[in-house]
Amino acid sequence: MFNNRIRIKDLLATDKVNYSATVMGWVRTFRNNQFIALNDGSTINNIQIVATLGEFDEALLKRLTTGACIKATGEVIPSLGKGQKVELKATSIEILGDSDAETFPMQPKKHSLEFLRENAHMRFRTNTFGSVFRVRHTLAFAVHHFFNDKGFLYLHTPIITASDAEGAGEMFKVTTLPLDGTAPTNEDGSINFKEDFFGRSTNLTVSGQLEGELAAMAFSDIYTFGPTFRAENSNTTRHLAEFWMIEPEMAFYDLEDNANLAEEFIKYIIRYAMDNNADDLEFLNQRLADEEKQKPQTERSEMGLLEKLNFVVDNDFERLTYTEAIDILKNSNHNKKKKFQYLIEDWGTDLQSEHERYLVEKHFKKPVILTDYPKEIKSFYMRQNDDGKTVAAMDILAPGIGEIVGGSQREERLDKLTQRMKEMHVPADELWWYLDTRKFGACPHAGFGLGFERLVQFVTGMGNIRDVIPFPRYPKSAEF
Ligand code: ATP
Ligand code: MN
């Protein structure tokens, strides 16, 4: 048997000593020809391995370079070093994989996040990305934990679809037709997708919501958690071309039930990460504090990462309508002094992220649930309110991130839905299956979509969304 190792996390978790153990991992540093700091990714903490002077071959010691993979066996002994209870006094060290010190990209020094993004294949081996992806894992696990405990069914919605759920038209086409100009065409010269693999034009999904609603009309409560694709050419710190979305859909829920679930959900998974990734969050807290110190005083955030997370789980989210938000924004000094790039003048305009951030970061200083938006700026499936002007939509805005959740009560009344689809030029014939749920046993229902990476950003304090997904996809970038 090769793998009789103990994980470094488990080894460091106790102060048990005087037993033999084998660890495997990647060398972070090798000091004084004697002390190896080894990491196996199970924790941010390294185990110190002592290679007593004179007991090991010079040739072997030379190969203990940063990045090398080794197997070490020895006696677990009390550690005199600070910050660790135990260390390993090596009796044997075996090199599993050499790492050339000159060319290994992850030198034992501070690298910029941009550099690490260009070396995403190796960045897992840094403290920052180790922590980010351990936290990401925990959050993903907590998503399933939360919904499973609540009796929600995990529904797998298709990745290839023929519908554009958001109507935004920002989709990646899926086709097997040749791209060299020889694809079959219609009489008018357009591509004849009847000849394509699926016999129609298809794309990568922008949302699993419409399919999710179908299942909610049978299982009551479902959620999806899967990849989502948007061909939006937005080079922001909050947009990816490929991201993961969590979309619960619930029968017998109105907008308020929906907001309650979203708030409970966000608090639950943040708390779950705080309970299970304390070391990583401690590290990320310090990382962010150091980063903030580089900024001018006025741009620094008032709270540290852990302080912010504690604040969010301990306090109610602020709830208000779009109309109330417009009033606040319109009358704000920021607006009067023309500090917004897009000034708020009339009811009905869409909020830009500068407005969202003003509300969340300056005005309320906590997460905000905005409801009842003008129907013109929202999707066709949102339930129309009695005022004839607004729909039962909700967005949740988080400090530092802006929109993290978009959701609504869904329009369950067939006549209202089809009328709205007509107004918005949504092809009803293509969505016949969606409309069927409104014909056979319709009920009030609601749901939301939460962008998983934005949540990971929020919890880890990482400023750029490209740093919270292992292999980010964005305009002009699909390396790795
Ligand atoms: P935004 O206004 O920020 O572009 P949106 O209104 O397009 O968001 P929705 O269509 O409501 O977003 O999608 C639901 C959630 O998915 C959003 O609240 C956000 O958390 C996330 N999301 C949307 N687009 C992206 C993207 N390109 N990359 C990462 N997450 C995204
Ligand atoms: Mn968008």
For the stretch 4-53, pLDDT in tens is: 999 999 999 999 999 999 999 999 999 999 999 999 999 999 999 999 99
Best mutation site among 172, 350, 360, 403 for ligand 1 pocket (most ligand atoms within 8 Å of CB): 403
Give the C-alpha separation, 286 to 10, whole Å: 24
Cα-based distances in Å from 170 to 173, 233, 242, 457: 10, 9, 12, 23
Please report the pLDDT score of residue 455 as a whole number: 98
Residues in Cβ contact with 316 at an 8 Å cutoff, skipping those fewer than 6 apart: 263
Residue 168 has pLDDT above 70, yes or no: no
Task: Give pLDDT tens digits for 349-375.
Answer: 999 989 999 999 999 999 999 999 999
Ligand nearest to the CA of 230: 1
Query: Rounded to an integer, what is the distance from CA 373 to the centroid of its chain?
Result: 25
Given the DSSP bridges, would you call strands 390-398 and 402-410 parallel, antiparallel or unpaired? antiparallel
Averaged over 310-329, what is the pLDDT?
A: 96
Residue 234 has pLDDT above 90, yes or no: no
Confidence of residue 121 (pLDDT cuts 50, 70, 90): very high
Q: Closest ligand 1 atom to the C-alpha of 230?
A: 27
Averaged over 198-204, what is the pLDDT?
A: 95
Task: Give pLDDT tens digits for 243-299.
Answer: 999 999 999 999 999 999 999 999 999 999 999 999 999 999 999 999 999 999 888
Tokens of 266: 């966000």
What average pLDDT does the structure give for the chain?
Answer: 95
Ligand nearest to the CA of 353: 1
Give the C-alpha separation, 46 to 420, whole Å: 59
* Amino acid identity for residue 41 in this structure: G
Best mutation site among 245, 355, 381 for ligand 1 pocket (most ligand atoms within 8 Å of CB): 245
Averaged over 460-475, what is the pLDDT?
A: 97
So where are the chain's domains? 8-104, 125-171+206-467
Task: Tell me the CA–centroid distance for residue 424 and ligand 2, in Å.
Answer: 18
- Measured from the Cβ of residue 144, the count of other Cβ atoms closer than 10 Å reads 14
Residue 165 has pLDDT above 80, yes or no: no
Task: Tell me the CA–centroid distance for residue 279 and ligand 2, in Å.
Answer: 34
Q: Which residue's alpha carbon is at the smallest distance from atom 24 of ligand 1?
A: 239
Ligand 1 pocket list (CB less than 6 A): 166, 230, 232, 238-240, 243, 245, 403-406, 449-451, 453-454
Strand-pairing partners, residue 368, are: 318, 397
Q: Closest ligand 1 atom to the C-alpha of 406?
A: 11
Confidence of residue 109 (pLDDT cuts 50, 70, 90): confident
Residues in Cβ contact with 1 at an 8 Å cutoff, skipping those fewer than 6 apart: none
Closest residue by Cα to residue 383 from 362, 354, 407: 407
Helix residue ranges, H only, 4-126: 8-13, 58-62, 113-118
Residue 81 has pLDDT above 80, yes or no: no
Matching residue, tokens 């009811």: 347
Residue 300 has pLDDT above 90, yes or no: no
Q: Which residue's alpha carbon is at the smallest distance from atom 1 of ligand 1?
A: 403
Q: Is 460 left (phi over 0), alpha (psi -120 to 50) or beta?
A: alpha
Please report the pLDDT score of residue 170 as a whole number: 87
Confidence of residue 166 (pLDDT cuts 50, 70, 90): low
Q: Which residue's alpha carbon is at the smallest distance from atom 29 of ligand 1?
A: 239
Given the DSSP bridges, would you call strands 318-321 and 368-374 parallel, antiparallel or unpaired? parallel
Task: Tell me the CA–centroid distance for residue 95 and ligand 1, in Å.
Answer: 46
Ligand nearest to the CA of 231: 1
Please report the pLDDT score of residue 211 as a whole number: 96
CATH architecture entry for 125-171+206-467 = 2-Layer Sandwich (3.30)
Helices 305-314 and 278-293, axial angle in degrees (round to 10): 120
At residue 38, φ and ψ (nearest 5 deg) are -115, 140
Task: Tell me the CA–centroid distance for residue 238 and ligand 2, in Å.
Answer: 10
Task: Tell me the CA–centroid distance for residue 462 and ligand 2, in Å.
Answer: 20
Tokens of 79: 């550690």
CATH architecture entry for 8-104 = Beta Barrel (2.40)
Do domains 8-104 and 125-171+206-467 share one topology? The answer is no
Ligand nearest to the CA of 165: 1
Q: Which residue's alpha carbon is at the smallest distance from atom 26 of ligand 1?
A: 239
Ligand nearest to the CA of 234: 1
